[in-house]
Amino acid sequence: MAVEIQSKKGIVSKAPYELYMLFVDMRNFVNFLPEEKKQGVTADYDSIHAEVQGFNIGVKVVERVPYSRIVFQDDGAPFTFEVAMFFNPAPADPFKTEFQIILEAELNFMMKTILGGKLKDALDKMVDSLVAMSEGRMPEGFDPSMMPKA
């Protein structure tokens, strides 16, 4: 069953091109992992793969529209999904970004019932965290010790 889950929209205090550049290269995601979590994670410009509980799970970029949209797709996950991130100039300030994430997944009824609300909450939390960090605030529940050492 195809399910679409849309995050809330958030205004990020970065221009669309700045925010887009953070997500365009999958190797950037590895830099945000704590050292102890990097083992078994491989990435190149287009994809990232990790071994989780003996399974190789991956995500790959399938579409890039410079400074406005990036679409990711499963590449060896337990279910089929696609995630689109949208980077639009904020209505009141072109140097800020209206950011949103949309997830489309093939979930059976039971998985939709169990995960539907949790996925929406996770997407909203990602948007809230990005907004908070762009404003110089630590997101709720953020542990600074997880940041990579310079």
* Cβ-contact 115, 107 below 8 angstroms: yes
The dihedral through the CA atoms of 68, 11, 122, 2 has a sign that is negative
**Which amino acid, residue 21?**
M
Two tokens, residue 93: 């300030």
List the domains of the chain with CATH numbers. 2-139 (3.30.530.20)
Instruction: Look at residue 143 and tell me whether its pLDDT is greater than 60.
Output: no
Structure-token pair, residue 97: 């970004």
Residue 46, pLDDT > 90, answer yes
Q: Which of 14-23, 45-54, 79-88 has the lowest mean pLDDT?
A: 45-54
Q: Is residue 30 classed as helix, strand or coil in its secondary structure?
A: helix
pLDDT digits (tens, 9 = 90+) for 24-41: 999 998 887 878 888 889
**By C-alpha distance, which of 81, 119, 102, 107 is closest to 6?**
102
